[in-house]
Structure 1
Amino acid sequence: MQAHSPTVVVFDIGEVLSEAPGLFEELARALGRPADEVRAEYWAERDDYDRGAECAPYWGGIARRLGVEISDDLIERLSGIDSNAWTTVRPAAAHLLEVAAEDRTVAVLSNAPLPMAAAARNSDWAPHVEHWFFSSELRMAKPDEAIYAAVTDALGVDGGSIAFIDDREHNVAAASRAGWKAHLWVSDDDSRAFLRELG
């Protein structure tokens, strides 16, 4: 590996490693409401959930706004659907993780609630990841400047030693300002090309 090549590759999860196909349709079946309505309510308070809010207020709020009676069992079911969908990575993405881990340290930095963080650590692709950083555990989220500083410090490297792949332009821009070699997700092939170009 060339001296200037990044030693750590940091991946986002949602829309990079996973796509969660059918998520809103499955949530809609559980709630008994149209998928479009569920999708709108899902994102309404997601930022707070990603920053560490508990399950009950988040899913209870969605159910209340949709006129659905909530229960502990329904909360558990909705949370499980959500976590499983976002932590089921595509086979090509799992291979990308495996290849990246051959000669670099692999980390994850994701805006994700606590149940998703737990599910990711117990996934079949988890052995390829050495460091985990979740907004819900750090109580800060991308693109907050502080989250990139916290991850850099935790990894014990300078920003130029970190390659980062994310699907949101504002997250990529913030990482670049932190000195990371940040790349906007396009595809698995494009990401492999990005990593090859880095050395």
Structure 2
Amino acid sequence: MTPKAVIFDIGNVLIEWQPERFFDAEIGTENRRALFATIDLHAMNDRVDRGENFSAVLAETAAKHPERQAELKIWHDRWLDIASPAIDHSVRLMAALKQREVPVFSLTNFGIETYALAATSYHFLRAFDLDFISGHMGVIKPDTRIYEMVEEGSGLSGDSLLFTDDRAENIAAAAARGWQTHLFEGSQGWADRLVAAGLLTQEEAQ
């Protein structure tokens, strides 16, 4: 069936999120590897995405790893530089769907403070019809509960929803609930899927 709403993940779908790439450029690949081997920065980020305070989590981590305070300060102070750039084609696809009056939701693992910060630079983050932001929800993908909360909040379920995400485990969890899904591997593939679903024309999906 033609989806009644389209759901976007944000990291690596609408905004690039490649902390390793950023730190390779800032401190060198060898030092970055040592940093990520010493501190599980992705687990640290998951705490923020579950709703813990961004600055407090960074301060706690820095206190445990004083030898890495400089790098953790970069993570804190230059977070917007890490979460960049926008994926322009995906942003255009979101705008095209809204122009067609197709409801567009977010479903993202994102912290409360970091999402507010990102929205100061990426204004399209305030354009969703419904926001499902893990920090506010207290649960992250691919936990089944976050998908249930989307269904409860939107009043939609099953194949009335079309969801794209760059992580296979998040897609699998959505597919298990009967959602239509697309594993995001590039904006052109996503554009093609939206055209195939009958939501956009080829011209609109450029």
Aligning the two structures, in what range does the TM-score lie when normalised by the shorter sequence? 0.7 to 0.9
1:124 Cα deviation after fit: 2.4
After the TM superposition, which of the residue ranges 178-187 and 113-122 deviates more from structure 2? 113-122
CA contact (8 A) 2:144 2:173 kept: yes
CA contact (8 A) 2:9 2:108 kept: yes
Unpaired segments of 5 or more residues in structure 1? none
**C-alpha separation between the residues in 2 aligned to 1:85 and 1:102?**
30
1:49 and 1:10, CA in 2 relative to 1: closer, same or farther beyond 3 A? same
- 1:17 aligns with one of 14, 18, 36: 14
Which residue type is aligned with residue 193 of structure 2?
A: F
Provide the secondary structure at the position in 2 that maps to 1:174: helix
- 1:109 aligns with one of 92, 107, 110: 107
In structure 2, the residue matched to 1:58 is 57
1:25 Cα deviation after fit: 4.7
1:148 and 1:166, CA in 2 relative to 1: closer, same or farther beyond 3 A? same
Which 4+ runs in 1 deviate beyond 4 A? 25-29
After the TM superposition, which of the residue ranges 97-106 and 122-131 deviates more from structure 2? 122-131
CA contact (8 A) 1:79 1:115 kept: no
1:92 aligns with 2:92: no
**C-alpha separation between the residues in 2 aligned to 1:16 and 1:99?**
16
CA contact (8 A) 1:161 1:180 kept: yes
1:28 and 1:138, CA in 2 relative to 1: closer, same or farther beyond 3 A? farther
RMSD of aligned Cα (Å): 2.6
1:180 Cα deviation after fit: 1.0
1:83 Cα deviation after fit: 4.2
Count residues with an aligned counterpart: 189
- What CA deviation, in whole Å up to 9, does each residue of 1:31-76 have, x standing for no partner? xx93333444222432222111122342124423251458xxx85x
1:36 aligns with 2:33: yes
1:183 Cα deviation after fit: 1.0
Using structure 1 for the length normalisation, give the TM-score: 0.81
Which residue type is aligned with residue 65 of structure 1?
A: H
1:152 Cα deviation after fit: 1.2
Unpaired segments of 5 or more residues in structure 2? 199-206
Percent identical: 26
Using structure 2 for the length normalisation, give the TM-score: 0.79
1:45 aligns with 2:44: yes
